Amino acid sequence: MFPDWIIDVLFWVAVAFLAAVYVSWRATRLDRLHVRVETARAALDAALVRRAAAALELAASRLLDPATSLVLATAAHEARTADADNREFAESDLSRALRAVVDQPEFASTLEAKSDGQAVLEELSSASAKVAYARRFYNDAVAAARIARRKLLIRVLPLAGRAPLPGFFEIDDAPPGI
Amino acid sequence: MKVGIVCPYTWNVPGGVQQHIGDLAEALIGFGHQVSVITPADDDARLPSYAVSAGRAVPVPYNGSVARLAFGFLSSARVRRWINDGGFDVLHVHEPAAPSLGLLACWAAAGPIVGTFHASYQKSRVVSVTAPILQSALEKITGRIAVSEAARKTLVEHLGGDAVLIPNGVDTERYAMAEPLPGWPGRAAAGAARPDAGGALGFLGRMDEPRKGLQTLLRAFEILGRERPGLRLLLAGPGDADDVIARVPPELRPRVVVLGMVSEADKIRAYHSVDVFVAPNLGGESFGIVLAEAMSAGAPILASDIEAFDRVLLGGRAGALFPVGDAAALAAAAGALLDDPARRKRLSAEARAAVRAYDWSSVARDVVRVYETVAVDSAVVVESGLGA
């Protein structure tokens, strides 16, 4: 039979191997969560850009009076050009401006009566809804990643690499009532 | 867009999730999308052209009841092959937390995955024990949808994470027109003076489930039935008919008709057979698909004033409301409605208009928006390594 010390060595080799497999699995999982956050962030940015574009298109469409156009165009421009610190405020302002414009009495029915009006409204309604969806999905991914990052193993071993801790994106994204 | 939809429950067994998926698939195809549905099915089952079978589901005890679920190597392999061959832009998994095809699909796929959560429950020991097992599969879902506020709450509390709310749809067209059941005059004759002139009240739902509130309706019928000798009561839904009849005073029994479980076609005809459709639910209802169906059929509605119904009925404009659980108030309100054909007509028209917000076409439009949100660039759903 084998001497005792060989059994001992084999046992500890097996333990080390299983631990390595487990750590590697945890690292893969964390990496997948980070990828999900990045994908969701890209989707959210795309949705925000598209909503601003839809607002600008409506402002430039000659379907509105000049004052309404100016309100919309300013808010959309602010949202597009805001730096990272002011982004959430500017996007919230765009949501409020859109609601203020669209919730005017008779707004939707007036626009639908004009040519192109229907298409512009549909685009705006779709873009606003997608901002709300994309933000919910992004924050959901961020929450999952942050919970995973808080686990002891991840804090002790540098499994997260240099990936920054993702932050939530908090805005008022209630869509206008089209 | 190429969409792959995963159904967790046997296709040919009637159920809310299966019906949801069938309606969604048809609406998506109507929009011009390519749809493939994978579902458990019995060997001799006839599936629609867009559905493929993943093999039989087996009945197993799960979460306090016996559920028919598909799992194991064979189902797993079929799901993998379907994902591989499909080349989907989006994978839409229904009820991914149930140990059936949905969970298998989450394991087997990587890429844009949308998950829809249907179930809601108060508390579940099973889920809290299994949450860690589910976690790594559920983490792959990029966009989550809950069909009701209750389903969303269940998700938040038991599994963690959040979801957007897209309510169940109703194919309003399907309910719009139907002949009344034989022996029932229906609403077309309602305005005219009828020989029996008593009218008819209707109820649809599980008769043995106290939360559906049948007890309240039966007590109200005791009051109303004595006042109005011609009034009849039509009850449909699963449950023991003799048990229900036993709760009605003997002299009123001939005027209570219990249909029991009805076919889809007869259900629609039942909605068209009654003068007032009563939804006496005591609570626990998140949306009330039955209410939306009755609204699509244009039935004048009298419902308990629980929050969900108040919202669907626009605070009483699209249907009359009575204080929940109050049989005397239900009797009084039903009597007033029976005596006022003009008001019934108005409620019927308002209900048909209000239910359009829940039509499948607007629900499917929102679901497509979710697809477009998660399907960025040209990423497609691919098969992933085991557990990775």
pLDDT of amino acid A124: 92
Between B131 and A21, residue with greater pLDDT: A21
CB B369 to CB A134 under 8 A?
Answer: no
Mean pLDDT, to the nearest integer, of A54-80?
89
- Give the CA radius of gyration of chain A: 25
Residues of A in contact with B373 (CB under 8 A): 43, 47, 130, 133-134, 137
Alpha carbon distance B118, B167 (integer Å): 10
Residues B232 and B256: their CA atoms lie apart, in Å, by 6
Higher pLDDT, B42 or B114: B114
Tell me which residues of chain B, numbers 114 to 153, contact chain A at a CB-CB cutoff of 8 Å.
136, 139-140, 142-144
Q: What is the pLDDT of residue B195?
A: 43
Place of tokens 């004033």: B305
pLDDT in tens, B306-347: 888 888 888 889 999 999 999 999 999 999 998 888 999 999
Domain ranges of chain A: 4-156
* Helix, strand, or coil (residue B24): helix
Which among A32, A46, A144 has CB closest to B161? A144
Domain A4-156 has CATH 1.10.490: no
Q: Does A124 touch chain B (CB under 8 A)?
A: no
Does A14 score more than 90 pLDDT? yes
- Comparing B345 with B120, the larger pLDDT belongs to B345
Phi, psi of B322 (to 5 degrees): -135, 155
Q: How many CB atoms lie within 10 A of CB B132?
A: 8
Among the ranges given (B9-18, B273-282, B296-305), the one the predictor scored with the smallest mean pLDDT: B9-18
pLDDT at B286: 61
Domain ranges of chain B: 2-169+360-378, 172-357
Q: Which of A37, A39, A133, A150 to mutate to test the interface with B (most CBs of B within 10 A)?
A: A133
Cα–Cα distances in angstroms (integers) from residue B113 to residues B91, B178, B342, in the given order:
5, 39, 50
B2-169+360-378 and B172-357: identical CATH topology:
yes
10 Å CB burial of residue B295 (0-12, 13-18, 19+) is: buried
Q: Do B143 and A137 touch (CB under 8 A)?
A: yes
* Number of Cβ atoms within 10 Å of the Cβ of B121: 14
Query: Token pair for residue B43?
Result: 């060997």
Partner B contacted by A25 (CB < 8 A): yes
B2-169+360-378 belongs to which homologous superfamily? Glycogen Phosphorylase B; (3.40.50.2000)
- Using CA atoms, how far apart are residues B211 and B201, in angstroms rounded to an integer? 19
CATH match for B172-357 among 3.40.50.300, 3.30.200.20, 3.40.50.720, 3.40.50.2000: 3.40.50.2000
Q: Give me chain B's average pLDDT, please.
A: 85
Q: pLDDT value at position B123?
A: 58
CB-based contact, A27 to chain B, within 8 Å:
no
Q: A-B interface: how many C-beta pairs under 8 angstroms?
A: 55
- What's the mean pLDDT in B46-64? 84
